Amino acid sequence: MHTAPEGEARILELPELVINQIAAGEVVERPASVVKELVENALDAGASEIRIDLEEGGVKLVRIVDNGCGMGPDDLRLAFQQHATSKLRSAEDLEHIGSLGFRGEALASIGSVSRARIVSRPEDSELGWEVVNEGGRIAEVREAPAARGTTIEVRDLFYNTPARRRFLKRTSTELGRCLDVLQRTALAHVGVGFTVTHDRARVFDVESSMNMRDRVRRLFGVELAESLVPVGGEDGDTRISGFVAPPRFSRRDTSRQMWFLNGRPMRDRILSRVLKEGYRGFLVEGRQPVAFLTLSMDPSKVDVNVHPTKSEVRFREERRLFGFLVNRLREAVSQTDISTPGDKLLGTAARRGGWTPREDAPGQARLPDPGAPRPWSRGGSTSGQAQGDDSTPRVREVAGRPFEEVYGDGSAVGQPAAAEESKAWDACDQFKGPFLQIDKTYIVRALPDGFEVIDQHAFHERVTYEGLRAQLRGGSVEVQRRLVPELVEVSRADIETLQPHLEGLRKIGVEVEVFGATTLAVQGLPALLRNPDPEGVVRDILAVVEKTGQAPTAEDVVEEVLHSAACRSSIMAGDELRDDSIRALLERAAELENDQTCPHARPTRVRFTLEDLEKAFHRR
């Protein structure tokens, strides 16, 4: 330990450079953080056009050119100072922050770990000025020629902090992260134009006049853009708007899941849960939905000053907000085109069988030309630092091809939306029959414009589940009481687990009583269950309660119990069905909110259009 000589304090105030470098450790992790901070500054300055030039993944250069309000010499003198900001005057201001920045530490931090330069000219000035900051050494402000607005250049990030520099990944990874930030920002700020280049090649641009759907089309391709369903609603002064994509666009990562809160791209735990809830029953385990959502609310209802990078927030009325958002989302999700288009299957079959129904078969990604030069490609994750990797967009070949063609994933290439078609279908569901049952598992029925194949088990499961949900939402579940209670043997521990939840279970139509030290008596079950299996239902409930440790009144537990109850009671593959029971099933399904996937998100029906048949038979 360092011992101080007599009479000299051991505790010293840190020099400003060290303070800034410590702060930089929090705010500036990598080039993408520089991009984020500088673009936010440009937006706060009211810019309507922002140009971003990157070199070597942003490590060599990040340059941001904006046409915002600019800075005069007095501002420039302070811009690189720690805690110097024009956006906050007092502690009260923290209660309702409307700007993206406010901590006044980004420029100081960035300047302390790079060679930075700001050139700026305010609107009302004839002259421009510049100030340079080399690793924390800030030069005098000088006159310099400048266009209206501000240009900030950040070169050689971490040149003076080698330990930090070593943590940077390869160029393609750093670039991917910069682009992820820029895509999110471009979607969050409709009304602002963005132009992005890397090593002098254009990567993407969006014009200021483009709306959100246009931007999605430019960034992620036409198919996704055309299939989006709008979300909207308000609750007091909280408003949600934006789009959700049909479940088939879901991905393994969350890179196409975007929340914007008062203009700020946000990755928040609550908001991720909202999406998960909104798509419950529509997605298979492990898939992430695609959605672009804007939330605006009174800044005093949300605390953004939780984390230095401001990507986490705290909501004041979390529960209410949660319920409101989930309902609006579910509404929109159920309106997306959920049916499995048969043409996708034909595409798959075609590839398997080795024939090509058409030049660019749907479902077949047009692969990048392997001969094309590769300015960059996506790097695999090289070190143990996998954190945040799901935010990295896939960067593939770009040379000489339109950005969206390359940058969208395979599914986003070239096909028009199926939404129009599905509307036509809905109008002509006639339940007429005749129906053809195949292998006691599938039902085939003719439709005016093709035919569809129904998986009878999955379909019945969905019908039962939705029926139960509807009754539950309506306030009461119809119960079928048993003449003689069914006794189920369980362990003492099981009884303890279940006892506190018996009242909650009653609300969802499951009437169970404790009958002995190790016996439960099932008195009644929801009437919608066909061939109810009381013992199975009790065991499922036990499993769910144990797994989640929650009362069965919590929505997700209820849903799980309903899922498994529906599944247990469904017509199984292998049941022979008569025309009239098929018809009854179809009619019940027609009244449901969603009948296109089973509660575990397997498809329940696959539709083939005449067009698909024509393709299959090479008639077109």
Q: Does residue number 19 form part of the binding site for ligand ADP (CB under 6 A)? A: no
Buried b (16+ CB within 10 A) or exposed e, 534-567: bbebbbbbbebbeeeeeebeeeebbbbbbbbbbb
Q: In terms of CB distance, is 61 or 106 closer to Mg ion? A: 106
Stretch that binds Mg ion, among 36-44, 389-397, 468-476, 503-511 (CB under 5 A): 36-44
Q: Is 187 helix (H, G, I), strand (E, B) or coil?
A: helix
User: Quick one: what does residue 42 bind among Mg ion, ligand ADP, none, with the CB cut-off 5 to 8 Å set by partner type?
Assistant: ligand ADP
Q: Does residue number 257 form part of the binding site for Mg ion (CB under 5 A)? A: no
Neighbours of 342 (CB within 10 A): 22
Integer angstrom CA distances of residue 542 from 498, 509, 536, 565: 7, 16, 10, 13
From the list 452, 457, 360, the residue with the least C-alpha distance to 411 is 360
Question: DSSP assignment of 292-348, as one string?
Answer: EEEEE--GGGEE-TTSTT----EETTHHHHHHHHHHHHHHHHHHS--SEEHHHHHHH
Q: Does residue number 37 form part of the binding site for ligand ADP (CB under 6 A)? A: yes
Q: Does residue number 45 form part of the binding site for ligand ADP (CB under 6 A)? A: yes
User: Quick one: what does residue 215 bind among Mg ion, ligand ADP, none, with the CB cut-off 5 to 8 Å set by partner type?
Assistant: none
Distance of CA 153 to the CA centre of its chain: 32
Q: Is 143 helix (H, G, I), strand (E, B) or coil?
A: strand
Considering only 41, 133, 294, 364, the residue that binds Mg ion (CB under 5 A) is 41
Applying CB under 6 A, what is the total number of residues that bind ligand ADP? 24
Q: Does residue number 101 form part of the binding site for ligand ADP (CB under 6 A)? A: yes
Q: In terms of CB distance, is 28 or 512 closer to Mg ion? A: 28
Q: What distance in Å separates the CA atoms of residue 226 and residue 482, rounded to the nearest whole number?
A: 51
Q: What distance in Å separates the CA atoms of residue 280 and residue 274, rounded to the nearest whole number?
A: 10
Q: What distance in Å separates the CA atoms of residue 223 and residue 418, rounded to the nearest whole number?
A: 9
Q: In terms of CB distance, is 140 or 285 closer to ligand ADP? A: 140
Do 139 and 52 touch, CB atoms closer than 8 A? no
Q: In terms of CB distance, is 249 or 260 closer to Mg ion? A: 260
Neighbours of 36 (CB within 10 A): 27
Q: Does residue number 150 form part of the binding site for ligand ADP (CB under 6 A)? A: yes
In the complex, the smallest distance separating the C-beta of residue 154 from ligand ADP, rounded to whole angstroms, is 12
Q: Does residue number 68 form part of the binding site for Mg ion (CB under 5 A)? A: no
User: Quick one: what does residue 102 bind among ligand ADP, Mg ion, none, with the CB cut-off 5 to 8 Å set by partner type?
Assistant: ligand ADP
Q: In terms of CB distance, is 304 or 321 closer to ligand ADP? A: 304
Q: In terms of CB distance, is 46 or 375 closer to ligand ADP? A: 46
Sheet strands (E) in 207-301: 229-235, 238-244, 257-261, 264-266, 291-296
Q: What distance in Å separates the CA atoms of residue 356 and residue 372, rounded to the nearest whole number?
A: 24
Indicate the residue whose CB is closest to ligand ADP: 101
User: Quick one: what does residue 581 bind among Mg ion, ligand ADP, none, with the CB cut-off 5 to 8 Å set by partner type?
Assistant: none
From the list 106, 54, 94, 58, the residue with the least C-alpha distance to 309 is 106
Question: DSSP assignment of 540-583, as one string?
Answer: HHHHHHHHH-S-TTSHHHHHHHHHHHHHHHSPPTT----HHHHH
Q: Does residue number 560 form part of the binding site for ligand ADP (CB under 6 A)? A: no
Q: In terms of CB distance, is 186 or 332 closer to ligand ADP? A: 186
Q: In terms of CB distance, is 106 or 350 closer to ligand ADP? A: 106
Q: Give the list of residues 6+ apart from residue 550 with CB closer than 8 angstroms, or none.
A: 556, 557
Q: In terms of CB distance, is 35 or 566 closer to ligand ADP? A: 35
Q: In terms of CB distance, is 45 or 182 closer to ligand ADP? A: 45
The single-letter DSSP state of residue 401 is S
Q: In terms of CB distance, is 87 or 273 closer to Mg ion? A: 87
Q: Does residue number 72 form part of the binding site for ligand ADP (CB under 6 A)? A: no
Query: Within 74-93, which residues bind ligand ADP (CB under 6 A)?
Result: 75, 79, 84-87
Q: Does residue number 85 form part of the binding site for Mg ion (CB under 5 A)? A: no
Buried b (16+ CB within 10 A) or exposed e, 442-471: bbebebeebbbbbbbbbbbbbbbbbbbbeb
User: Quick one: what does residue 86 bind among Mg ion, ligand ADP, none, with the CB cut-off 5 to 8 Å set by partner type?
Assistant: ligand ADP
Q: In terms of CB distance, is 20 or 471 closer to ligand ADP? A: 20
Given its phi and psi angles, is residue 199 left (phi above 0), alpha (psi -120 to 50 degrees) or beta?
left
User: Quick one: what does residue 249 bind among ligand ADP, Mg ion, none, with the CB cut-off 5 to 8 Å set by partner type?
Assistant: none
| The two three-digit tokens of residue 56, written as one number | 């070597």
Neighbours of 19 (CB within 10 A): 18
Q: Does residue number 465 form part of the binding site for ligand ADP (CB under 6 A)? A: no
In the complex, the smallest distance separating the C-beta of residue 368 from Mg ion, rounded to whole angstroms, is 37
Q: What distance in Å separates the CA atoms of residue 248 and residue 228, rounded to the nearest whole number?
A: 12
Considering only 41, 464, 564, 609, the residue that binds ligand ADP (CB under 6 A) is 41
Q: Does residue number 326 form part of the binding site for ligand ADP (CB under 6 A)? A: no
Query: Within 103-122, which residues bind ligand ADP (CB under 6 A)?
Result: 103-108
Q: Does residue number 33 form part of the binding site for ligand ADP (CB under 6 A)? A: no
Buried b (16+ CB within 10 A) or exposed e, 218-241: bbbbbbbbbbbbebeeebeebebb
Q: Does residue number 133 form part of the binding site for ligand ADP (CB under 6 A)? A: no
CA dihedral 297, 298, 299, 300 (to 10 degrees): -130
In the complex, the smallest distance separating the C-beta of residue 470 from Mg ion, rounded to whole angstroms, is 49
Phi/psi of residue 601, each to 5°? 70, 15
Considering only 52, 62, 69, 106, the residue that binds Mg ion (CB under 5 A) is 106
Q: Does residue number 33 form part of the binding site for Mg ion (CB under 5 A)? A: no
Considering only 69, 240, 522, 525, the residue that binds ligand ADP (CB under 6 A) is 69
Residues that bind ligand ADP (CB under 6 A): 37, 41-42, 45, 66, 68-71, 75, 79, 84-87, 101-108, 150
Binding site for Mg ion (CB under 5 A): 41, 101, 106
